[in-house]
Amino acid sequence: MSSKAQVPEVQRHVAQFLQARGAKLGSKQLSMLAAQIAADPFGKVKKMIDGMITRLLEEANEESDHKGWCDKEMGTNKQTREDKTEQVNSLQAECDKLSADITTHGQQIADLADGIAEISQNVVEATKVRKDDAAKNKQTIADATEAQTAVAQALQVLKDFYAKAAAGAENLKMGYDGRTRAALIQGPADDAPETFDAEFKGNQDAAGGVVGMLEVIQSDFSKLEATTAAAEESADKEFGRFMAEANKDKAVKNADLDHKTRSKTQKESDLNDTTKDLKGTEKELQSAKFYYDKLKPSCVDAGVSYDERVGAREAEIQSLREALEILSS
């Protein structure tokens, strides 16, 4: 058989080989090449196979480079998305905490302001009561003192009166001249009224009762003065203790109010800054997600993995090389 008769046979054999391999590997390129080999001249067939091998090797290199770029970009993007997601969660938690602290501080500030106002009101009321009580006690003491003076004067008048009355009777008994003395010695005249049957000394028994009553009254006024003075002193000391405690409590609350107010202002500033950081980080996270969506079409395996594509391409190249060996033989 001549060489011209053998050439078509070889081409048919190569075409059948590549067709079978194409069907087995699911390679459209091998199947299309098999169809072309069956129709083209022998010299062109070898060139076609060499060209396809070269193209497949270039594709392999390009895909390898693209795979490396994808791995790097996808890895960086994944880390970015994870970092930004963690930052967003952390910033959101910080915002929530600051908002809760601000609300708590606001309530505490309101409570402290109410407490300070209540202390001030209590001080005003207690001061008024103390002032009124002090005025009443002062008046009571003055009245008791004045009453004691009046009673003492009355007692002195009564004592002087009864003392003079008793002395007058004694003088009458002793006599100032002979006739009076004789009259006193002889006793009362026979025709004297019964009222004058004895020496006049004043109603000494009644004097004791009146004087005693006045002395009791004087003692009561003295006790009232002493009791009122003691009560005034005790109330004034109690008021002093109340004022000291109120001023201390008010000072503590004012200091706490100032601290809470400054803390609330600082937290409001921190919340403003944290909210800005949160919005900025959310934008960065959104950009990372958007970039990931752009990477997916070319970098994420869609049903066929990179290793599977590499294996299929290597099988195609191997089949083409075997076809060249067939042609060469």
* pLDDT higher than threshold 80 for residue 196: no
Q: Is residue 127 part of a domain?
A: yes
How large is the average pLDDT for residues 6-17? 69
Q: What's the confidence (pLDDT) of residue 50?
A: 80
Listed residue (91, 86, 84) closest to 287, CA to CA = 84
pLDDT in tens, 97-131: 999 999 999 999 999 999 999 999 999 999 999 99
Which range has the worst mean pLDDT, 107-116, 201-210, 298-307, 310-319? 201-210
Q: What's the confidence (pLDDT) of residue 206?
A: 53
- Compute, in degrees rounded to 10, the torsion defined by CA atoms 260, 263, 269, 273: -130
pTM over 0.95: no
Range of the domain at 166: 41-328
Q: Is residue 14 part of a domain?
A: no
| Contact yes or no for 224/145 (Cβ under 8 A) | no
Q: What's the confidence (pLDDT) of residue 2?
A: 40
Which range has the worst mean pLDDT, 18-27, 32-41, 116-125? 32-41
* pLDDT higher than threshold 90 for residue 203: no
Q: Is residue 20 part of a domain?
A: no
pLDDT in tens, 275-301: 999 999 999 999 999 999 999 888 876
Average pLDDT, the chain: 82
Q: What's the confidence (pLDDT) of residue 245?
A: 96
Q: What's the confidence (pLDDT) of residue 293?
A: 93
* pLDDT higher than threshold 60 for residue 34: yes
What would the two tokens of residue 49 be?
A: 């196979």
């501080």: which residue's tokens?
105
The CATH number covering residue 250 comes to: 1.10.287
Q: What's the confidence (pLDDT) of residue 179?
A: 47
Q: What's the confidence (pLDDT) of residue 283?
A: 97
Q: What's the confidence (pLDDT) of residue 316?
A: 80
Question: What span, in angstroms and rounded, lies between the C-alpha atoms of 21 and 32?
Answer: 12
Q: Is residue 64 part of a domain?
A: yes
Report DSSP letters for 125-141, one per residue.
HHHHHHHHHHHHHHHHH
Higher-confidence position of 159 and 9: 159
Q: Is residue 192 part of a domain?
A: yes
SS3 content of the chain, % helix, strand, coil (to 5): 90, 0, 10
């069907």: which residue's tokens?
23
**What domain count does the chain have?**
1
Measured between alpha carbons, how far is residue 250 from residues 28, 70, 121, 127 in Å?
Answer: 91, 68, 12, 16
| Contact yes or no for 211/155 (Cβ under 8 A) | yes
Q: Is residue 7 part of a domain?
A: no
pLDDT in tens, 259-277: 999 999 999 999 999 999 9
Which range has the worst mean pLDDT, 94-98, 138-142, 232-236, 318-322? 318-322
Q: What's the confidence (pLDDT) of residue 29?
A: 77
* pLDDT higher than threshold 80 for residue 13: no
Q: Is residue 2 part of a domain?
A: no
Q: Is residue 25 part of a domain?
A: no
What would the two tokens of residue 316 be?
A: 């195609």
How large is the average pLDDT for residues 317-326? 79
Q: What's the confidence (pLDDT) of residue 208?
A: 63
